[in-house]
Amino acid sequence: MSLVVSAGGHPFYLQAGKGFSISKPKGYKICPRAALVEATPRVNGSPSSTSIQVLATDRAEELKAEARALARAADASVYSPQLLAKKYGSRPVKAVKRTLEILVALGTFALKLFLDQKNGTLDQNKRKRAAELRTIFTRLGPTFIKLGQGLSTRPDLCPPEYLEELAQLQDALPTFPDADAFSCIETELGMPLESIFSSISPTPIAAASLGQVYKARLKYSGKTVAVKVQRPGIEEAIGLDFYLIRGLGFFINKYVDIITTDAVALIDEFASRVYQELNYVQEGQNARKFKMLYADKEDILVPDIFWNYTSGKVLTMEWVDGVKLNEQAAIERQGLKLLDLVTTGIQCSLRQLLEYGYFHADPHPGNLLATPEGKLAFLDFGMMSETPEEARFAIIGHVVHMVNRDYEAMARDYYALDFLSADVDVSPIVPALRDFFDDALSYTVSELNFKTLVDGLGSVLYQYPFNVPPYYALILRSLTVLEGLALYADPNFKVLAASYPYFAKRLLTDPNPYLRDALIELLFKDGRFRWNRLENLLVQGSKDRDFSAKDALQPVLKLLLGPDGEELRTLVIKEAVRVTEAVTLCTFVDTYNSVPSFMRSLIFNGNGALAMSSAELQSMMELRDQVFRIWGLLRSSENFDPALLQPILQILQQPEARSLGGRVVGGITQRLAARLLQQVLQMPMAPTSSLSALDTR
C-alpha cells in the first residue's frame, strides 16, 4: 500500500512500513516559541443538543484558527503585471539571460528531433528524447514543469514514451534542503518543530513544482498529516518567466493574426492562478469550499485542513491513502475499475462546471487518487476557477442546440458565453458551424470524441472575432485531462457519452426557466412532440444516480399550468388527443384481433372494424408502445412511488388543469366521432385497410 499526499498539486508516495521521525538536518536551528493548540477534532454521529453545541464550538474554534492562518499569510504575493514589469524591466540583462536559456534548451531539443527524423531514428530514440525533454523542463523550472504536467495527460498529443517520462514531473522532482524546509515551518508557524509534531519524516516523501511534502504525526492528537512546504525563491523564478511570457503575448496579439483571442488576458489569468497556488492559506480555503460543495457524494473524498498549522508557505492537511489515476494496474489490483473512477470524476466535474460553477482547474493524474475504498480523492486546490452563472445554462443550452442542429441558436449562444460582444453579427458564423457539425454529427453525439469537438470549434473560432474567456480555456483543460486519463484504459472512451446522463437529468429536473425552455425546444418540433427524444432523455437520465422521477414530472406540470404556459398547453392538448386516440384505437385493435374469425364476421358483417391505412395504424401502435415504455421508465425509477403523484393530482385540480382536461376530452371526442362517421359512410382512404390487416394470426 502506498500513502499519498499532495504538494504543489502533485501526489507523493510512501511505502507502508517506511518509518519516519523527527530528524534535525545539519545546520538546522530550533526556534523557541510557544506551541499552538490543535483545533478540536470534528464530532461524528447523530446530532443531539450536546453534539450540536460541541459542533458549534468546534466551528468557532476552526474559524479562529483560520483567521490566525490568514494573519500569518497577510504578506503573501499576488500577481501584478505592473510590478513584474517594473521589477524586471529595469533588469534587462537578467531577462535576456533567461530568454537565451529557454531558447537554447528548447532549440537544442528541436534540433535533435529534426536530426532524428532526417536520419530515420525518430522512433528508435523516443525514450531517450522523452527523458531529455523531462530533464529540460525540470531544469527550466516551475513554469515549464507545469507545461510538462499538462502534456503528460494528453495521449492524443504525445507518444507513450513521452507520457511516461513527463508523468514523473508530477511527483519526482529535485528536492531542496531539509534544513530550509524545517526552518520555513518554524518561521511560518512561530514554534519549534517538536512542539508541533511527535514525528516527521527526515526527508521529503517527494517534491513537485511548488513545494515538497513531509509525512508527520501531530503531537496533540496523533493524527497523521501531510505537511507541504513551499520552495524557497519560487516567486522569483515564476515571476521572471511570466514577465517574459507576457511579452510574448503582446507579440502574438500584434503580429499573429490567426490567433484572435487576447493572448495577454489568457496569460494573466493563468499567472494569477499560479500565484494563488503560492498562498497556501488560500489553497486551504479553496479545499474547504470544494469539500462543502462536492464531498456530499459518498464516492468523493477531500482532505481536511489543519488551520493551526497552516500559513502562506506551509499547509498541513489530512493524509490520504491512494493510487494515482493513471496507474491502471495498481488500481485494478485493489479490485477497482479505472473507467468507473474516471466516470465519477466526469460527473463531479460537470457538477463543478454547471451547477455551482466553482471548479478544480488542474485535475491531472497527480491530483486525482483512487482510494482503497473506491473513492475518488481530489488534491491540490491551489488553481481553481469559476463559470459565470449565465454561461452555465448557456453551455447546457448549447448542447441542446447541437443535438437539434440548430446552428442559428448555437451562434447566438456565444453571446451568453461571452465569446462575442453584442454588436457582432453572428450570421456569417452559422455556415461555418453547419459545415463542421453536419460532418461531425454524422455520428451520434455520444460517439464524438471531446477533442474532435474542441479542435473543430477551434478552427471556427480562429476564423471569426471570438474572444475566448479564460474560464473556457480552463474548462477545456479540465475535461480534456479527464478524457486523456480514460484513454489509458479504453482508447474508445468518449467523454460526451459519459456526460449524457448528467445533461439529461438536468434538462428533465432543473426548474430553471432557461433549461425548461431548452427542454421544450428539444421535445417539440413543428408542433409535434418527439417521444423518442423524451424516451432517450429518460433512459440516459436514469443512469444518473441523482435522477428523480418526481423531479422530472412536477416542474413540467407547473410550467404547463402556469400563466405563461398557453403556447405549451396548445401543443400538449394536440399531443394528448393524438396519444389518447392511439391508445384507444390500438386497444380496440388488440380486442378485435383477439376475437375469433367467425365472430368478427358476425359482428362486423365481414367488414373491417374501422377503415384506416395500414401505415397510419402502424404509426399509432408505435406511438402507444413508446408512451407505455416511457411510463415504464418512470415507474422503474428507484424513488418512484405512486404517492409521489399526489402533489401532481393537487395541481390537476386547479381551474387551469380542469380547463386543459376539458379541451383534451373535447379534442378526443371530435377525432373519434369523425372516424366513426367515416366508418359509417365508408368514406374511401387510399390505401385503405381494415383492422384485421394487422391480425397476426
- Burial class (CB within 10 angstroms; exposed 0-12, middle 13-18, buried 19+) of 159: middle
* Backbone dihedral region for residue 8 (phi beyond 0: left; psi -120 to 50: alpha; all else: beta): left
Task: Classify the C-alpha dihedral 407-409-415-416 as positive or negative.
Answer: negative
Count helices and strands in the chain by DSSP H and E runs:
27, 16
Grid coordinates belonging to 5: 499526499
- Burial class (CB within 10 angstroms; exposed 0-12, middle 13-18, buried 19+) of 466: buried
Beta bridge pairs of residue 13 = 4
User: Could you give the C-alpha distances from 575 to 553, 582, 627, 656, 663, in angstroms and in order?
Assistant: 17, 10, 11, 18, 12
- Cα 656 to Cα 658: distance, rounded to the nearest angstrom: 6
Cα-to-chain-centroid distance, residue 486: 14
Say how many C-beta atoms besides its own lie within 10 A of residue 620's C-beta: 20
Positions marked catalytic: 362
Beta bridge pairs of residue 358 = 386
Quickly list DSSP for 258-299.
T--S-HHHHHHHHHHHHHHHT-HHHHHHHHHHHHHHHTTSTT
- For 42, the 3-state DSSP assignment is coil
- Cα 468 to Cα 414: distance, rounded to the nearest angstrom: 10
Residue whose C-alpha is closest to residue 568's, from 517, 509, 628: 517
Residue 355, C-beta contacts closer than 8 angstroms, at least 6 positions apart:
392
Backbone angles phi, psi at 3, to 5 degrees: -100, 135
